[in-house]
Each structure stands twice: as structure tokens, then as C-alpha cells.
């Protein structure tokens, strides 16, 4: 067996509309369906929304679980740390992303120069960490795989 690509990510969210607004209106992800019906024609028990960059049918699926759902624990824990979304190919594009998320009041929790990527780290409305990044054009990690593990430096945009 060989993995060909990461296909999609599914997140539980407390409030679907709040999360849809964040992923669609702030991050600019194209919503491909809002609330599909089950095969009896009635609404699903847990409302869902899906998003795609156009690469495949969906790359993100959100499932509403309600306001009483337990929060993602802070600090060191098992499970997902963050997921990355490529937002462009240049620092100019990353600067535009920074301006957009700042205007929207999105919490920025980090900014790093990973040699192969320049990254901003933010939290979604449910506390899931997201890396917004660009690949550094002249970082030839294919020829020098050690670049992937280069020391992390502060990002200077």
C-alpha cells in the first residue's frame, strides 16, 4: 500500500454557522454543500458543511455537535496538533493573508520560518489550530531533505 495524498479532514464543531462563516468568509474556502438531507428526505441529525479548493470533491467536512461539546484540551495531548493550508506561493501573498485575518479579528498564535515554508498559525472558532503557509520557492527540499528539519526561526514578513 502507498498513500497517494491526504484526501480530506473532518472536524467536529460546536456551531456550524459560526464555523462556516470562518472557513468560507474569512479563509475563503469554497463551500460545496451546506446541509445535505438523509435518504428519507429529512435533515441529518448533525448538520454538516463541506469545502473544497477544487482539487477534489471535498477537503474539509464540518459536523455540528452542539455548544455543550467538550473543548479541545490545551497543551500537550494526544491527537491532532494542527493542519496546514497552503495559501499562496510568495511572502506577498502571505502578507495579504495576514492583513485579511487581522481585519477579521482572528487570533494569531504563531509565525514561523521553517526554511521550506513561511507559516502563520491561527485558531478556528473551536480552538483547532491551523497553519496558513506558503512554500519557499528556493528551498529545494527534494535535493536536500534535511531542510525539512531545519531549525525554526521567527517569521519576518
pLDDT tens digit string along 39-76? 555 555 568 999 999 999 999 999 999 999 998 888 89
The total number of structural domains in the chain stands at 2
Average of pLDDT values for 101-119? 97
33 membership: H or E segment, kind and range = strand 30-33
Secondary structure (3-state) at 110 = strand
On whether the CB atoms of residues 97 and 88 are closer than 8 A, the answer is yes
Same domain? 51 vs 102: no
Same domain? 90 vs 41: no
> Could you tell me if residue 2 is inside a domain?
no
Same domain? 90 vs 130: yes
Label residue 91 exposed, middle or buried (CB < 10 Å: 0-12, 13-18, 19+). Answer: middle
Confidence of residue 84 (pLDDT cuts 50, 70, 90): very high
> Could you tell me if residue 71 is inside a domain?
no
Tell me the residue range of the domain where 95 lies.
Answer: 82-154
Half-sphere exposure of 150 (CA within 13 A, CB side): 16
pTM: 0.90
**Sheet of 108-113, strand order:** 82-88, 129-135, 117-123, 108-113, 153-154
Same domain? 56 vs 115: no
Q: Which of 69, 80, 30, 23 is nearest to 46 (CA)?
A: 69
Q: What is the mean pLDDT of the chain?
A: 92
List, in sequence order, every beta strand (DSSP E) within 66-152.
82-88, 108-113, 117-123, 129-135
Q: Which three cell numbers stand for residue 155?
A: 517569521
> Could you tell me if residue 86 is inside a domain?
yes
> Could you tell me if residue 116 is inside a domain?
yes
Q: What is the percentage of the chain residues whose pLDDT exceeds 90?
A: 83
Average of pLDDT values for 19-26? 96
The pLDDT score that the predictor gives to residue 73 is 85
Q: Which of 48, 42, 130 is nearest to 86 (CA)?
A: 130
> Could you tell me if residue 87 is inside a domain?
yes
> Could you tell me if residue 3 is inside a domain?
no
> Could you tell me if residue 53 is inside a domain?
yes
Average of pLDDT values for 108-124? 98
Q: What is the percentage of the chain residues whose pLDDT exceeds 70?
A: 92
> Could you tell me if residue 73 is inside a domain?
no
Amino acid at each position: 500500500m502507498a498513500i497517494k495524498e491526504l484526501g480530506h479532514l473532518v472536524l467536529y464543531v460546536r456551531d456550524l454557522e459560526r464555523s462556516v462563516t470562518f472557513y468560507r468568509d474569512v479563509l475563503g474556502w469554497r463551500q460545496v454543500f451546506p446541509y445535505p438531507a438523509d435518504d428519507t428526505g429529512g435533515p441529518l441529525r448533525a448538520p454538516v458543511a463541506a469545502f473544497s479548493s477544487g482539487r477534489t470533491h471535498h477537503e474539509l467536512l464540518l459536523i455540528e455537535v452542539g455548544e455543550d461539546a467538550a473543548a479541545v484540551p490545551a497543551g500537550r495531548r494526544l491527537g491532532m496538533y494542527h493542519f496546514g493550508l497552503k495559501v499562496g506561493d510568495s511572502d506577498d501573498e502571505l502578507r495579504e493573508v495576514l492583513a485579511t485575518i487581522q481585519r477579521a479579528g482572528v487570533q494569531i498564535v504563531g509565525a514561523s520560518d521553517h526554511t521550506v515554508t513561511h507559516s502563520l498559525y491561527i485558531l478556528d472558532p473551536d480552538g483547532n489550530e491551523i497553519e496558513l503557509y506558503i512554500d519557499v520557492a528556493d528551498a529545494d527540499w527534494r535535493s536536500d531533505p534535511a531542510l525539512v528539519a531545519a531549525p525554526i526561526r521567527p517569521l519576518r514578513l
